[in-house]
Structure 1
Amino acid sequence: MEQKVLNEVFVAKVNDLPEKLGRTVHVGELELAIFKLESGEIRVIENRCPHKGGVLAEGMVSGEHVFCPMHDWKISVVDGKVQEPDVGCVQTFEVNVKDDNVYVFVPEK
């Protein structure tokens, strides 16, 4: 089984991220949505809703979920799963916070 190599990439300063709002970041060809939750935790997911491609960084955040701005699909920013009755998921990305710097782990090309 081939093991994926991950690169740790700087994406933001913690203090620059608004609470409960998303921000779009680009890492190579990836378009990611980064969120600072009410708890202060940082989460990063794929930025497009699996339904119709809505920009998730523009959605409303409630707890550990973001609501797609196009059709209100509720998506977990923890595991990427769309909440029932809708189905689907988005990719999630591991995050590392060092000092005030936020890094995301993305697959190496």
Structure 2
Amino acid sequence: MTWLDICALDDIAPLGSRVVAGPKGDIAIFRTGDDEVFALDDRCPHKGGPLSQGLIYGKRIACPLHNWQIELESGQAVAPDVGCAHRHPAKVENGRVLLALNAVRHCA
């Protein structure tokens, strides 16, 4: 797996996000209150809303359009909603946010 250096962890506010261009559309990188990072396609599975503009709480993001709840770890919508946002491997090493781009388009 090839890791891309995106930015310093401190460049993303706690409970914030950053958007980077991916080969198949924008990718949102989220930082939780515990300094964990997760990356999902910046597109809600419901109506395509920009997840990067949603509110983070715990390990979920709420879509800003219709408040769908998406699990950051898996990209899965929280029941009763159904669907998923494609996830990408992300991690923090030495204070830097790293992202790996998956060619395979799947959830979980």
* TM class, shorter-length: 0.7 to 0.9
What is aligned with 1:104? 99
Residue 107 of structure 1: SS of its match in structure 2?
Answer: coil
Q: Which stretch of the first structure deviates more once superposed, 82-91 or 95-104?
A: 95-104
What is aligned with 1:50? 45
Q: Is the 8 A contact 1:33 1:56 kept in 2?
A: yes
Identity of counterpart residues, as a percentage? 29
What is aligned with 1:83? 78
- TM-score, normalization by structure 1: 0.86
Matches of 1:34 and 1:107 in 2, distance apart?
A: 14
Deviation of 1:30 after TM superposition, in Å, equals 3.4
Matches of 1:37 and 1:96 in 2, distance apart?
A: 12
Give 1:71's aligned amino acid.
Answer: H
Matches of 1:96 and 1:21 in 2, distance apart?
A: 15
Give 1:101's aligned amino acid.
Answer: R
What is aligned with 2:34? 39
Higher strand share: 1
Q: Is the 8 A contact 1:31 1:47 kept in 2?
A: yes
Return 5+ residue gaps in structure 2 as ranges.
104-108
Give 2:88's aligned amino acid.
Answer: F
The one of 26, 41, 46 equivalent to 2:21 is 26
Deviation of 1:27 after TM superposition, in Å, equals 2.9
Q: Is the 8 A contact 2:18 2:28 kept in 1?
A: yes
Q: Which of the pair has more CA radius of gyration?
A: 1
Deviation of 1:22 after TM superposition, in Å, equals 1.9
Q: Is the 8 A contact 1:34 1:44 kept in 2?
A: yes
Distance 1:27 1:11, change over 3 A: farther
Q: Please list the CA deviations of residues 32-66 of structure 1 after superposition, one character each: whole Å capped at 9, or x if unmatched.
A: 11111011111111110011110000001110000
Q: Is the 8 A contact 1:45 1:90 kept in 2?
A: yes
- TM-score, normalization by structure 2: 0.87
